[in-house]
């Protein structure tokens, strides 16, 4: 993709879509932002509100519009979709969102055939695969937000507990963005030191390792907790999406746990799942086959198989 005069479109002007647009505007990483929603008034209002901050940020045009207005976008972010209702199964939600994606992906592809598609709607790993199939785009140009957000939550909670900057913690949540995700402890380190060793050296928490149990649980339950309190999540996911866009527009070759197509990696095929991948201007440049412990690998494969089963049972 081009690295100048970048245009990003956001499909869905709900909590996530609107906050993502705002985060992108603050980030100053593009010249044009277009918001599309089936609820036109919502898109109009959000674009108007965000655009009125133009005097405080780098020049950027923020508009609402139709798919035609998204023409020649460099990145299209998909946040549209139905949310899970009480009594509705995950598969019901999958099929509902597949039907929404069947209507919007052809429109996106028609106007931006060279774009990178960034899927955020849930279940994100399933809908990333659906987008890959429906768009006909090469694998590198269809990216899911994967466990980028979960990884940030993980590093944030570890940072609070260990009293170091979250940016100095190297560690990943891998697998499904959801209940079967895995904290890859064997890859997690501070200053190149694994966490058991770090706690021993620094005497942080008097050597108590129970955080290795409850922090991954807190990460897994974070979305449920926010949905039970504020009703939705929007800020951290918007920053996670901005981080992915930044890696693309800056051709950073950054390592992010985006949801990537498995094409033989880890012995897996035909599904998307969160795993450290190199992200740059082409999208996903490379999926990294990180060395995992036997247990981590087993859990990762089992998480991936769950994704495959849902895809196979879906109405795709």
The residue ranges that bind ligand NAD (CB under 6 A) are 11-17, 37-39, 42, 79-81, 83, 100, 103-104, 120-122, 124, 145, 149, 177, 232-233, 237
Spatial distance between the Cα atoms of 85 and 97, rounded to a whole number of angstroms: 13
Question: How near is the Cβ of 121 to ligand NAD at its closest, in Å?
Answer: 4
Phi, psi (deg, nearest 5) at residue 150: -60, -40
Question: Exactly one of 177, 220, 242, 306 is catalytic; which is it?
Answer: 177
Q: List Cα–Cα distances, 69 to 31, 80, 266, in angstroms.
A: 14, 17, 40
Please, what is the minimum distance in Å from the beta carbon of residue 281 to ligand NAD?
A: 22
Q: What is the smallest separation between the CB atom of 2 and ligand NAD, expressed in angstroms?
A: 26
Q: Pick between residue 42 and residue 297 the one whose CB is nearest to ligand NAD.
A: 42
Q: Which is nearer to ligand NAD, 10 or 190 (CB)?
A: 10
Q: Which residue is nearest to ligand NAD (CB)?
A: 14
Reply yes or no on whether 170 is catalytic.
no
Instruction: State which residue, 188 or 259, has the beta carbon closest to ligand NAD.
Output: 259
164 vs 239 by CB, closer to ligand NAD: 239
Between CA 102 and CA 161 the distance in angstroms is 44
Q: Which residues of 232-246 are buried (b: 16+ CB within 10 A; e: fewer)?
A: ebbebbbbbbbbbbb
Identify the bridge partners of residue 75 per DSSP, sorted by sequence position.
8, 116
168 Cβ neighbours under 8 A, 6+ residues apart: 159, 190, 191
Separation between Cα atoms, residue 77 and residue 17, nearest integer Å: 8
Q: Which is nearer to ligand NAD, 81 or 171 (CB)?
A: 81
Residue 106's contacts (CB-CB under 8 Å, 6 or more residues apart) are 134
Query: Catalytic amino acids?
Result: 177
């Amino acid at each position: 993709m081009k690295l100048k005069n970048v245009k990003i479109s956001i499909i869905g002007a709900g909590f996530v879509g609107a906050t993502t647009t705002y985060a992108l505007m603050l980030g100053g990483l593009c010249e044009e932002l277009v918001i599309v929603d089936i609820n036109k008034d919502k898109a109009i209002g959000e674009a108007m509100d965000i655009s009125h901050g133009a005097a405080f940020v780098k020049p950027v045009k923020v508009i609402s519009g139709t798919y035609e207005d998204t023409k020649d976008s460099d990145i299209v972010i998909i946040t549209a979709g139905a949310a899970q209702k009480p009594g509705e199964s995950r598969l019901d939600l999958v099929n509902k969102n597949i039907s929404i994606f069947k209507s919007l992906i052809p429109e996106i592809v028609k106007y931006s055939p060279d774009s990178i598609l960034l899927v955020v709607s849930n279940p994100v790993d399933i809908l990333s695969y659906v987008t890959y199939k429906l768009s006909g785009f090469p694998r590198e140009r269809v990216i899911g937000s994967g466990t980028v957000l979960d990884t940030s939550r993980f590093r944030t909670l570890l940072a609070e507990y260990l009293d170091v900057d979250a940016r100095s913690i190297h560690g990943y949540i891998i697998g499904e963005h959801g209940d079967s995700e895995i904290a890859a402890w064997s890859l997690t380190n501070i200053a190149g030191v694994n966490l058991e060793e770090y706690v021993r050296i620094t005497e942080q928490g008097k050597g108590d390792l129970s955080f290795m149990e409850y922090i991954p649980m807190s990460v897994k339950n974070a979305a449920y907790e926010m949905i039970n309190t504020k009703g939705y999540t929007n800020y951290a996911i918007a920053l996670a999406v901005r981080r992915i866009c930044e890696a693309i527009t800056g051709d950073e070759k950054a390592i992010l746990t985006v949801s990537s197509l498995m094409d033989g990696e880890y012995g897996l095929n035909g599904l998307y799942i969160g795993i450290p991948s190199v992200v740059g201007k082409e999208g996903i440049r490379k999926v990294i086959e990180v060395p995992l412990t036997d247990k981590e690998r087993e859990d990762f494969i089992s998480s991936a198989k769950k994704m495959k089963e849902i895809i196979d049972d879906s109405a795709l």
